[in-house]
Structure 1
Amino acid sequence: MYMGTEIAGSTHVEASVSARLDRLPPTRYFRGLVARIAVGGWFEFYEMFMAAYISLGLIHSGLYRATTAGLFDVNGFASFLGSFFAGMFVGTVALGGITDRFGRRVVFTFAMLTYSVASFIAAFQHSAPGMDAWRFVAGVGIGMQLITVDTYISELTPRDARGRYTAFSILVILTSVPVVAVISYVLVPRTFLGMEGWRWVMIIGAAGAVCIWFIRHGLPESPRWLESKGRVSEARQIVDEIERKVVAETGKPLAEPPESPDASQLQARGAWIEMWQGRYFKRTVMLSLFNFCQTFGVYGFGAWVPVLLYSKGITITHSLLYTMVIAITTPLGAIGAMACAERFQRKWQLVGCAIVVAVAGVMFGQVRDPVPILLFGSAVTIANNWLIGIFHTYQAELYPTRIRARAVGFVFSWSRVSSIFVGFWVAALLKHYGVPAVFLLISSAMVVIVVAVGVWGPKTNGVRLEELSQ
């Protein structure tokens, strides 16, 4: 184990915690740590993708309509989606900075409790405005949580496995999608104890509040964040414990850490304006465009699959069945991302996924038979979730620790902006031009991603976070 102490007769400069973490080998300890953080994200994605699978239940109950009478019609299903994403926008922009201020672990816990309680209360609402209000609160909590999870994992894991660990976390998280699809398929068409099935789906999602105390126990604070705040002693104690566990697992001594960056730079106070200066300017523009457009594929498709199928003339039962089958392929995207995260440049994986979504999406909009519906729907789903598995790593590694959560929150907020409107745009296109027009919109957004990331996206694989941010 590395021991940074003064040696008699000479002064030994202690390496930064970042340098010490980055030279650690991949271990079961890190996988367990990442998995526990990912469990918090599991409930986030359950909440986000749940909307698609309970959509027909909400519409059939009369709480919402499939289409909208006008922009921001609270009685349309797009309002259910829009209120949630509006909350996420507030959570990522207005409150994203609190993660940099109060720490990753504290905000991780607070955010999870917030959206779990709000979702539980939402399950008992009987009016569209009441439902929208509590979905907004749940969105605020999830907006904070999403950027916290990305930042947390990127700062706790070694550089050579950073992408693989983040993709692994996405794999764990995305298992929530087929789970909520199956639960919805079973519960939505039925009534239990006098309550409609879709309400039970929401109640199950609120179970995150029960799990939170088990998840947070033993989770360390990010030592990189502590070091950036000048709390060096605390940071070193955490890294000492991590190193002890790694050595105990591997049975091998650790290599000496590389030369550390200047301590004053590590502890510099971050400012919002930094993301618009120097090398960060292009990154901020590129990631803002990427995030604004990626939701067209992820949520423009994912949140509307049952409704799109129903609009093709497919029955409610078969729409839910096809959606469930397509949802089962969701983890395949994360598996692909995990397998390739460190093998191929992450920027080119994002470009490739966007191309697949564009092409397969157009084909999905044209077909009506079960086999091609499942084939192209699965292709879009796998590519969308491969993209998710990569971009959560990619955007978190492009900014320095002092502003990471704040900057990621800002660029990620553009996905919440587009998510607020994409539901209304999809509803309008569906009403006036049909399903093919929806996928023309999605494919156009994917072209923007291909150009923005292909031209302005830097290469990041295997590079230390501190080197990327210099």
Structure 2
Amino acid sequence: MTISERLDRLPVTRRHRYVVALVGVATFFDLYDLFLAGTISTVLTKQFAVSPGDLKLLLASAFLGAFVGALGLGRLADRVGRRTAFLVTLGLYSVFTLLGAFSTEVWMLVVCRFIAGIGIGAELPLADAYLADLLPAKHRGRATAWAYTIGFCGVPAAGFLARWLAEYENGWRWLFVIGGLGAVVVLALRTGLPESPRWLVSQGRYEEAEAVVRRFEKETPEVITPEAPPSPKAPATALFRPPWLKRTAMLYVFQALQAFGYYGFGSLVPIVLAAKGFHLSTSLTYVALTFLGYPLGSALSIPIIERAQRKWLIIGSAAGMAGFGLAFGYATTSAAIITFGFCYTLLSNVFSNAFHTYQGELFPTELRATAAGSAYSLSRLATAAMPFVLLPVLTGSGPGAMFAIVAGAMMILIVDVALLGPPTTGRSVESIADGSTMRTGATR
């Protein structure tokens, strides 16, 4: 029996739960940081007398760094291992987030945000690849959803902390200190993570893979006889040739568009509320309340992510985001703004958990982190471009027109996934990679 088959036959063990929890806590600080600049953008505008042009660059800086990180460090993970790449990404984020807290002018903050973004950009696709490598097929979606549920608690945490600390002159600096110091603690804990056995096999390091799998098997009553077949290496260019070209094209289009739906709301909603005429403290309160939908939506995905086919879960939640986004854009009362904003964030994390699991399943081990990272880099690039695309629309035509563009992007995304996305729920990553229809028990 192969290493992969042994991993897929395991139940969820205590060691699996530890890995999921640690990935989730690290994701907490990444997502906390990604939503931070948009949340406190109005505060920083006053602190540094930021011009509209500088504000766009400040909002884009972390995402530009994330583009570089997702593109470069994803391939690093396929070459030197998931665990080593994890340490590099979190190290970059923690150091430069702390330095950003001591910025004396806007350009220092932009540079720190850019370099911290390099670490942030690689973290999420790397987490997707790592969890897909390690988790049993029948539990992969649910366990990944648990990791992101922990992680998405960082979004309302950023919202409520910003609401509280914004009242103090340098309160925004403490937001960066909290993120940086928290990441340092997680970095220390992460040194105990096991390397991916599937990746070790792909490198011909069978004894190390066997040792990792045996540690998981010691927590189960069944002992399985090992066998470790070789796994072929593949260059990154293999993504652009059959049989992977169709999936690569689908995922690249998807990632370029999903950024408008996901981060188009989370990053710009404080500015949207300011455009609607709300006071700073009121808008930050509304932001914090709508951000509660992120962890709750992530939790909602846990019982359904293994019951529904993931591609259709992505499509259904994307359609809901388009509708609630338009409703939010045209809402004028406090109750409508909070209700539609909350529903938007709730659905967006059903969407997010489904696609994070999905993108980690589509490619073989030797290409998994490269594919996820390179595709995810496009979403970071699109998110970096959003202030330059959407803010002029917001200023010139209002929130309704801005969210009409977001809804249009989600409609194209739906067509892309419906036509080109393969089914994956309940299948081993090997059967998904070779195009097999073999299943492990989940419904189509």
TM-score by length of 2: 0.94
**Where does residue 8 of structure 1 map in the other structure?**
none
**Which letter maps to 1:321?**
T
Within a 5 Å distance, the mapping from 1:46-125 to structure 2 comes to: 46-65=32-51, 68=52, 73=53, 75=54, 77-125=55-103
Residue by residue over 1:91-112, the C-alpha shift from the partner in whole angstroms, topping out at 9 and shown as x without a partner, is: 1113321111111111111210
Q: Distance in 1 between matches of 2:295 and 2:16?
A: 21
**Where does residue 442 of structure 2 map in the other structure?**
none
Is residue 2:232 matched to residue 1:263?
no
Please say which of residues 111-120 and 26-35 is displaced more in the overlay. Answer: 26-35
From 363, 376, 380, the equivalent of 1:416 is: 380
Residue by residue over 1:425-454, the C-alpha shift from the partner in whole angstroms, topping out at 9 and shown as x without a partner, is: 121111111111110111011001110011
**Where does residue 386 of structure 1 map in the other structure?**
350
Q: Distance in 1 between matches of 2:188 and 2:11?
A: 27
The answer as to whether partners of 1:333 and 1:389 remain within 8 angstroms in 2 is no
Q: Distance in 1 between matches of 2:432 and 2:242?
A: 13
Q: Distance in 1 between matches of 2:186 and 2:333?
A: 43
Q: Distance in 1 between matches of 2:111 and 2:135?
A: 37
**Which letter maps to 1:20?**
R
From 17, 21, 27, the equivalent of 2:7 is: 21
Please say which of residues 232-241 and 408-417 is displaced more in the overlay. Answer: 408-417
Q: CA RMSD in A?
A: 1.5
**Where does residue 18 of structure 2 map in the other structure?**
32
**Where does residue 41 of structure 1 map in the other structure?**
27
**Where does residue 207 of structure 1 map in the other structure?**
181
Give the 3-state SS of the residue equivalent to 1:37 in structure 2: helix
TM-score by length of 1: 0.89
Q: Distance in 1 between matches of 2:87 and 2:335?
A: 43
Within a 5 Å distance, the mapping from 1:79-228 to structure 2 comes to: 79-191=57-169, 196-228=170-202
Please say which of residues 216-225 and 457-466 is displaced more in the overlay. Answer: 216-225
**Where does residue 370 of structure 1 map in the other structure?**
334
Residue by residue over 1:236-294, the C-alpha shift from the partner in whole angstroms, topping out at 9 and shown as x without a partner, is: 0110111002x2xxxx435778xx7x923x2x111112112223111111111111111
The answer as to whether partners of 1:325 and 1:374 remain within 8 angstroms in 2 is yes
Q: Distance in 1 between matches of 2:187 and 2:111?
A: 27
**Which letter maps to 1:22?**
D
**Where does residue 266 of structure 2 map in the other structure?**
302
Q: Distance in 2 between matches of 1:307 and 1:256?
A: 59
The answer as to whether partners of 1:109 and 1:216 remain within 8 angstroms in 2 is yes
Q: Shift in Å at residue 331 of structure 1?
A: 0.8
From 203, 207, 215, the equivalent of 1:229 is: 203
**Where does residue 322 of structure 1 map in the other structure?**
286
The answer as to whether partners of 1:112 and 1:209 remain within 8 angstroms in 2 is yes
The answer as to whether partners of 1:120 and 1:206 remain within 8 angstroms in 2 is yes
Q: Distance in 1 between matches of 2:236 and 2:32?
A: 31
Residue by residue over 1:392-429, the C-alpha shift from the partner in whole angstroms, topping out at 9 and shown as x without a partner, is: 11011000001111111111111012111111112111
Name structure 2 gaps, 5 residues minimum.
435-444
Q: Distance in 1 between matches of 2:139 and 2:123?
A: 22
Q: Shift in Å at residue 363 of structure 1?
A: 0.7
**Where does residue 336 of structure 1 map in the other structure?**
300
Give the 3-state SS of the residue equivalent to 2:73 in structure 1: coil
The answer as to whether partners of 1:51 and 1:81 remain within 8 angstroms in 2 is yes
From 340, 345, 366, the equivalent of 2:309 is: 345
**Where does residue 429 of structure 2 map in the other structure?**
465
**Where does residue 438 of structure 2 map in the other structure?**
none
Q: Which has the larger radius of gyration?
A: 1
**Where does residue 253 of structure 1 map in the other structure?**
222
Q: Distance in 1 between matches of 2:349 and 2:152?
A: 8
Q: Distance in 2 between matches of 1:51 and 1:254?
A: 50
Q: Which runs of 4+ in 1 moved over 3 A?
A: 254-257
The answer as to whether partners of 1:39 and 1:215 remain within 8 angstroms in 2 is no
**Which letter maps to 2:28?**
W
Q: Distance in 1 between matches of 2:119 and 2:313?
A: 29
The answer as to whether partners of 1:154 and 1:393 remain within 8 angstroms in 2 is yes
Q: What percentage of residue pairs aligned between the two structures are identical? A: 36
The answer as to whether partners of 2:29 and 2:182 remain within 8 angstroms in 1 is yes
Q: Shift in Å at residue 126 of structure 1?
A: 2.5
**Where does residue 277 of structure 2 map in the other structure?**
313
Residue by residue over 1:104-130, the C-alpha shift from the partner in whole angstroms, topping out at 9 and shown as x without a partner, is: 111111210111110111111132222
Q: Shift in Å at residue 189 of structure 1?
A: 2.0
Q: Shift in Å at residue 149 of structure 1?
A: 1.1
Q: Distance in 1 between matches of 2:225 and 2:286?
A: 54
